[in-house]
Amino acid sequence: MKLTRRNAVTALTAMGVSVSVAGCTAPVGDDSAGGDIDEPGHTTPGDEPPVDGLVATAETLYPSSVEVTAEFVETYVHGRAIVDEAYLVEIARAYATVDEHAHEVSGEPFVELTGAERDEVLEDLGVGTATPNPDGGGSEHVRFYLFEELLYAFFVSAEPAAVYDHLNPPGRPGGTETYREAIGE
């Protein structure tokens, strides 16, 4: 599946965000609206996580069957900024931790690494075994603000059945039909 702006708007809607710029609100499924991450005024330059860095992280975390687009990340980040700019700063900090470690391990930014090298950076940081903790440091902080952040965005926005044949994961307003559907038909 391909994660697009539409999926990001779905995720943001589940989070109670109406993606709106200059009075334009994007309903779920409207790919033409949704705001522009370059629109000024929502985050302080330097405190915003780099879109290419988040795309690279999401590509690493999500199964290979999921195609991550920049517009998915852009729209999602923009919506997060509307909710809480300070939260976005934490995401940026978490990514900076990963990127710094990439430099230490390989001398390259995270986005320039191959998939295997990115895995190695995350493993070396201890993200796999870290306990997510919004108040923690290092790997705990990365696990919460980067790893689980992107997974939450995925679970509340993915197309039905993309999540291990789960048609309506909690957090996704998927209606009152799927819980009744037969399995295997």
Partner 1 sequence: MSAERTPEDDADVCVIGSGPGGALVAADLAARGYSVVILEAGRWFDPDERHVQMELALRNGYDGLEVWEMGGERDEYLTLEYDVPLNTERVKGVGGTTLHWGAVTPRLHEEDFEMETRYGLARDWPLEYDDLRPYYAAAERELGVSGDEDNPFAPPRSEPYPMEGFPASQADSVYARGCEDVGVRMHTAPHAIASEPYDGRSPCQGYGTCIPVCPSGAKYSADVHVRKAEADGARVIDRAQVHRLEHDSTGETLERAHYTTPDGTEYEQAADAFVVACGAIETPRLLLLSASDAHPDGLANSSGQVGRNLMGHPYVTTVAALEERTRQNEIGFTTSISHEFYDHEEVPTSFQFEFSNVAEYAPMEIVSFTEEWGDDLFEPFDTHYGQVGSIVTAVEQLPDPDNRVTLAGSRTDNHGRPIPMVDWHLGERELETAAFAQEVAADILTAIDGEVVWQSDPETVGMGAHHMGTTRMGTDPDESVVSPELRAHDLENLYISSASTFVTGGAVNPTLTIAALALKVADHVDGRL
Inter-residue contact 42 to 85 (CB < 8 Å): yes
- Candidates 13-21, 23-31, 39-47, 97-105 — which segment interacts with partner 1 by CB under 8 A? 13-21
Question: Phi/psi zone of residue 46: left (φ > 0), alpha (ψ -120 to 50 degrees), beta?
Answer: left
- For residues 2 and 69, the answer to whether their CB atoms sit within 8 Å is yes
Shortest separation between residue 39's beta carbon and partner 1, angstroms: 22
Contact (CB, 8 A) for 132 and 74? no
Stretch 29-58 residues interacting with partner 1 (CB under 8 A): none
Give the residue carrying structure tokens 């195609």.
67
Give yes or no for residue 27 binding partner 1 (CB under 8 A). no
Question: Is residue 23 involved in binding partner 1 (CB under 8 A)?
Answer: no
Rounded to the nearest whole angstrom, what is the least distance from the CB of residue 106 to partner 1 in the complex?
Answer: 18
> What does the alpha-carbon distance between residue 32 and residue 72 come to, in Å, rounded to a whole number?
13
Per-residue x/- track, 54-93, partner 1 (CB under 8 A): ------xxxxx------------------x----------
DSSP letters for 162-176 = TBTTBSS-TTS---S
119 makes contact with partner 1 (CB under 8 A): yes
Window of 42-50, 69-77, 95-103, 145-153 that interacts with partner 1 by CB under 8 A:
145-153
| Nearest residue to 149 via CA among 65, 42, 53 | 53
Residues lying near partner 1 in the complex (CB under 8 A): 14-17, 60-64, 83, 115, 119, 122, 128-129, 131-134, 144, 147-148, 151-152, 155, 163-184
